Copies of this chain bind each other. A is one copy, B any other.
Amino acid sequence: MADTVCLALDDVFGLSVRVLREHGMSLAHAEAVARVITAGERDECYSHGIYRLLITTHTLSNSSISRDALPVMRDRTPALVGVDAQFAYSPLSFEMGSEVLIEKARKTGIAAMVINNCYHFSALWPEIEVLTAAGLAAIAMNPSHAGVAPAGGTQAVLGTNPIAFGWPRPGKDPYVFDFATSAVARGEIELHNRSGKAVPFGWGIDALGQPTSNANSILNGGAMLAFGGHKGSALSTMIELLAGPLIGDLTSLDSLEYDDGQGASPCHGELVIAMDPLLLGQGQYANDTARAERLFDAFLGQGARLPSQRRFAARKRSLEHGVQVPRALYEEITNLLSGSESTRRAP
């Protein structure tokens, strides 16, 4: 028996929708979430692929997250659209709001979308790619749960606070980055902890605020560190402020308190900024595009990579051949379903 199961992308989508529906999610939400999961699996971002269904169903079972509330969108100014996610997952809110955001950015040059009261879902790059596909440059960010100590500090205050950016490249895959402002993802430290491996210095501190290579000390009573010392810490603070108090929503400290030990996904806000090169430029769009391409050529010409290259290569493979899912994971997920599929595997 092969230890992987080959699935077409449609199957990944269908399986995801079924699992989410069985856990009480409305069709609109289940499909929006499943689209993001399918994109993660397609691009071989496994932590955001169908593996995510395990976390999602846990959150659905263990928190006050809404399974069906429809986002409430408000056109606030010519450059601002607000979406109240009503304490459901974020993808449906993003899908609804981004259409308006794109229209606005094309009229005013710069526009913002504020999503409030949403449960965190997925990486930010699938959202960024919606905007680059519309020819816009975009930035997105959100706080998470406090787990990262500020530079010079000893206690967790900041979240892993991701920031993502995208630049449209006509006729090519966009330039996209999406990274946590912590030194590494929490999951990376958890992996080291499970296998008893030391982590490099710089990933975190122990309960006394001392640098440590002991993953367990970081996870239990210690704190993670930001990437890049005081500069990364400052950037993470900016994300707290812009995607927290600026938009009337929670910081990572607030979000952790709000969770109150449930262990659910962070509940917070998100800020998305979109900018139109056709309006912000000086009317020489072809020249501007060429200047950006020259920059990318200079990267590639010296053997440096563009941030999402690996993801785009995986995408190409997956669109052609489908995806390979580890059999154990596949079975864990089908076990989330009632009926034939899961009873076939029941102990």
Contact = CB atoms under 8 A, between A and B. Distances in A.
Q: Could you say which of A108, A229, A240, A277 has the most chain B C-beta atoms within 10 Å of its C-beta?
A: A108
A277 B139 CA distance: 18
A292 B246 CA distance: 9
Interface majority SS (helix, strand, loop, mixed), chain A: mixed
A136 to B, nearest CB: 10
Nearest to A84: B282
A230 interface: yes
A149 to B, nearest CB: 8
Interface stretch (A40-48, A89-97, A210-218, A303-311): A303-311
A25 interface: no
A38 interface: no
Chain A: interface size category: 35 or more
A232 interface: yes
A177 B150 CA distance: 14
A118 to B, nearest CB: 13
A322 interface: no
B292 A244 contact: yes
A33 to B, nearest CB: 24
Interface stretch (A62-70, A153-161, A188-196, A323-331): A153-161
Nearest 8 Cβ contacts at the A-B interface: A228-B228, A248-B282, A248-B281, A153-B304, A79-B79, A79-B108, A80-B109, A245-B288
29 contacts: A77-B108, A77-B109, A78-B78, A79-B108, A110-B111, A116-B282, A137-B246, A149-B302, A149-B304, A150-B299, A151-B304, A153-B304, A154-B303, A165-B238, A175-B237, A177-B237, A228-B229, A228-B232, A237-B295, A244-B292, A244-B295, A245-B277, A245-B289, A245-B292, A247-B280, A248-B280, A248-B283, A249-B282, A253-B298
Interface of A: 76-80, 107-112, 114, 116, 137, 139, 149-155, 157, 165, 167, 175, 177, 179, 181, 209, 227-232, 234-235, 237-238, 240-242, 244-251, 253-254, 271, 273, 275, 277, 279-284, 287-289, 291-292, 294-295, 298-299, 302-305, 307
